[in-house]
């Protein structure tokens, strides 16, 4: 018999922006979230799922607590899916402007993908989420983090960094992955506002 998921969650991330987004998703469902700060070793892997599985193998949640890890990337088909699983590194080294230069003269279609994973007792769950869009011609907006200032969700003229936080959270790849976890745990994700 599978154990019941604890309502206390330790989110292992070094990214304050991710923590705030995930807290906004879990709080309405009655979960309390603790920020387990610090870097987890990320393997050189070809998929987000493998990165998340490796991270789950490193975490040690407290008794009565569920561990949550997540990894995300921006996948650009015109660049063969790059930067993909290397998005954080590419953002640190090339930045948004560098990525824009790489796609100059190429199709600007892009997709943000996220994989979230939880561990409690002997149980592990992974769920993925994605959002399609395109790359803006240059960075816009002061919100978000990472490549948010250059990502235009499908049908939107504003970048993720220009959207109000609540709207960005509702539409994001990360939200979709976390909502998949909530459904798998038997908790309903927060209702989408029109």
Q: Which are the catalytic amino acids?
A: 71
Closest residue by Cα to residue 150 from 109, 114, 113: 109
7 vs 22: CA distance, rounded Å: 14
Radius of gyration, alpha carbons of the chain: 17
Cα maximum dimension of the chain: 55
Residue spans of beta strands (DSSP E) within 77-122: 109-120
Give the DSSP letter string of 131-167.
EEEEE-SS---SSS-TTGGGEEETT-SS-TTTS-HHH
Which helix (H) or strand (E) segment holds residue 133: the answer is strand 123-135
């Amino acid at each position: 018999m599978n154990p019941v998921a604890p309502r206390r969650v330790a989110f292992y991330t070094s990214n304050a922006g991710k923590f705030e987004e995930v807290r906004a998703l879990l709080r309405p469902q009655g979960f309390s979230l603790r920020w387990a700060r610090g870097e987890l070793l990320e393997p050189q892997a070809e998929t987000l799922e493998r990165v998340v599985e490796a991270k789950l193998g490193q975490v040690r949640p407290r008794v009565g607590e569920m561990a949550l890890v997540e990894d995300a990337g921006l996948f650009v088909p015109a660049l063969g899916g790059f930067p993909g699983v290397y998005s954080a590194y590419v953002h640190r080294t090339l930045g948004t402007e560098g990525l824009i230069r790489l796609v100059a003269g190429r199709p600007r279609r892009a997709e943000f993908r996220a994989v979230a994973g939880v561990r409690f007792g002997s149980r592990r769950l992974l769920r993925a989420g994605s959002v399609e869009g395109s790359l803006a011609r240059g960075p816009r907006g002061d919100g978000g983090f990472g490549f948010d200032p250059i990502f235009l969700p499908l049908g939107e003229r504003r970048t993720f960094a220009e959207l109000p936080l609540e709207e960005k959270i509702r539409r994001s790849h990360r939200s979709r992955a976390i909502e998949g976890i909530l459904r798998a745990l038997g908790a309903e994700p927060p209702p989408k506002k029109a």
